[in-house]
Amino acid sequence: MTDLRTLDRTELENLYSRLEKQYLAFKSKNLALNMSRGKPSPDQLELSSGLFDSLDARTNKTADNIDVRNYGGVDGIREAKELFAEIFAVRPSEVIVGGNSSLTMMYDTISRALLKGVRDSELPWGKLPQIKFLCPSPGYDRHFAICEALGIEMIPIDMLDDGPDMDKIEELVRKDDTIKGIWCVPKYSNPGGIIYSDEVVDRLAMMETKAADFKIFWDDAYTVHHLTDNPPHLKNILQACSKAGHADRVFIFASTSKVTFPGSGVAAMAASEANIKFILDQLSVQMIGPDKINQLRHVRFLKNLDHINEHMKKHAKLIKPKFDLVLHELEAQLGDQRIASWSNPKGGYFISLNTLDGCAAEVVKRAAAVGVKLTKAGATFPYGKDPKDRNIRIAPTFPSLAELKMAIDVLCLCVQMVSVEKLLT
Ligand code: PLP
């Protein structure tokens, strides 16, 4: 294949009719394939079936002799706090272990900030006429959905190779006290697979913010989800914030959703001890205690960070061939055409594909019309609006290799068809 931009009109028209024939052939196959959500595959779930056996009626006490079957322990059981402290590289006293979803913890944290304020707020955020969040984009659609649902204005920030555009962020937060927060997925970002550099972490920690109660929502969802043997390093944000004199600036989140069972995992957050105390006072009104049975079960199964890393290698063994397949096909089918570019992630759950400007929505629509479902175009941007209409999130983990091959063939075909149409206009 050659650079499509060098083809003349007749060559493009000839190519288009060949592509159209292939498209019609896919249509007759009645496909029903889904590359839209980052879900583990059934064989990944099998890796954690030991969870069902890791607790029984005789072993239901924690190290502190607490009966996990009963109420209590709003901050989570001691051994679960120790486990997440190891994951986050913080102290157990800086951790709250919660329920089954980190997204719920994030939503609740923002809801409480709106109703009650955060520790350093003069007023609850909801009492202010307007508040805003910075949204590095492309980013995680559900973060943006929380802002939209709760009436928080979103400001898109470009994602660069080593994290969000810090020059822009510093310029905005310095002068606007209605900017109260920023969403960050600092390791293997969803969808770009970006890892924040030490410099970005330090600048976020140190920057001057007009709002005294500005918060970083540090969603470290993919912190142990490596696809390589030599995982990259991410600088510790809580330490960086403390060193910069802004210890209360950051809330860190993660869960075992894609370590064990999504929806039945354990979520946790970390923050300064002062923040943790403030949050626990509020949480103890919200609940009497989390699901300690699930917490203990997870600690018994996952044991410690070394053991989690071994467990995650088994996940990587199953999903790396899927990432490799997608990357190989993108290169083989689109490599020389200069109509698309894509990420080559070292971890996480996604590959981010950029088409020519103005093509992504049509590509997604066209793939859906032959039975290949992709994440809605635009979903990776605030308000579902990709200003360049070019980003498509590929989630390769759930389908089998055979399904994935078919789905990626359709995707590459649709990218070519829509690009040729664009070049012909
Ligand atoms: N954060 C990010 C960046 C994600 O990609 C996901 C799921 O895809 C979640 C959070 C959801 O986490 P949980 O299952 O703990 O709610």
Q: How far apart are CA 216 and CA 87, in angstroms?
A: 19
CA 276, CA 7: separation in Å to the nearest integer? 61
Q: Residue 18: what residue type?
A: R
Closest by CA position to 222, among listed 352, 327, 107, 87: 87
Distance between CA atoms of 295 and 62, rounded to whole angstroms?
10
Q: Is the pLDDT of residue 146 over 80?
A: yes
Q: Is 356 in the pocket of ligand 1 (CB under 6 A)?
A: no
Identify the sign of the CA torsion 78, 306, 251, 154: negative
* Nearest protein Cα to ligand 1, atom 4: 221
* CA diameter of the chain: 78
Strand 163-164, strand 179-184: pairing: unpaired
Query: Can you tell me the mean pLDDT for 156-168?
Result: 98
Centre of ligand 1 from the C-alpha of residue 322, in Å: 20
Question: What span, in angstroms and rounded, lies between the C-alpha atoms of 238 and 89?
Answer: 9
On whether the CB atoms of residues 222 and 190 are closer than 8 A, the answer is yes
Q: Is 185 in the pocket of ligand 1 (CB under 6 A)?
A: yes
On the question of pLDDT at 55 being above 80, the answer is: yes
Distance CA 48, CA 125 (A): 40
Which pLDDT band holds residue 1 (cuts at 50, 70, 90)? Answer: low
pLDDT, mean of residues 328-347:
96
- Distance between Cα 397 and ligand 1 center (Å): 15
Q: How does pLDDT run across 58-79, given as a tens digit for each residue?
A: 888 999 999 999 999 999 999 9
Q: Is 390 helix (H, G, I), strand (E, B) or coil?
A: coil
What is 4-44+309-424's CATH number, 3.90.1150.10, 1.25.40.10, 3.60.10.10, 3.40.50.1100?
3.90.1150.10
Across 179-205, average pLDDT: 98
Q: How confident is the model at residue 401 (pLDDT cuts 50, 70, 90)?
A: very high
Ligand 1 pocket residue status of 138, Cβ below 6 Å: no
Ligand 1 atom at minimal distance to the Cα of residue 103? 16
In this predicted structure, the answer to whether residue 320 has a pLDDT above a threshold of 80 is yes
Contact 291, 99 (CB under 8 A): yes
If you take atom 8 of ligand 1, which residue's CA is the nearest one?
38
pLDDT confidence of residue 59:
83
ipTM over 0.85 threshold: yes
Q: How far is the CA of 256 from the centre of ligand 1 (A)?
A: 9
301 vs 1, higher pLDDT: 301
DSSP structure class, residue 67: B
State the amino acid at position 95 in one-letter form.
V
Ligand 1 atom closest to the Cα of residue 257 is: 14
Q: Tell me where in the chain the CATH 3.90.1150.10 domain(s) lie.
A: 4-44+309-424
Q: Does ligand 1 have an atom closer than 6 angstroms to the CB of 101? A: yes
Q: Which residues contact 52 (CB under 8 A, 6 or more apart)?
A: none
DSSP per residue over 254-311, as a string? EESTTTS-TTSS-EEEE--HHHHHHHHHHHHHH-S---HHHHHHHHHHH-SHHHHHHH
Mean pLDDT of 73-99: 98
For 315, the token pair is 């996940």
Q: Measured in angstroms, how far is the CA atom of residue 221 from the centroid of ligand 1?
A: 6
Q: Is the CB of 164 under 6 A from ligand 1?
A: no
- The CATH 3.40.640.10 domain(s) of the chain lie at 61-303
Q: For 53-67, 103-117, 322-336, which range has the lowest pLDDT when averaged over its residues?
A: 53-67
Other Cβ atoms within 10 Å of 331 Cβ, number: 12
> Which of the listed residues 257, 349, 351 should we mutate to test ligand 1's pocket, taking the one with most ligand atoms within 8 A of CB?
257
**Domain 61-303 carries which CATH code?**
3.40.640.10
Res 258 pLDDT > 70:
yes
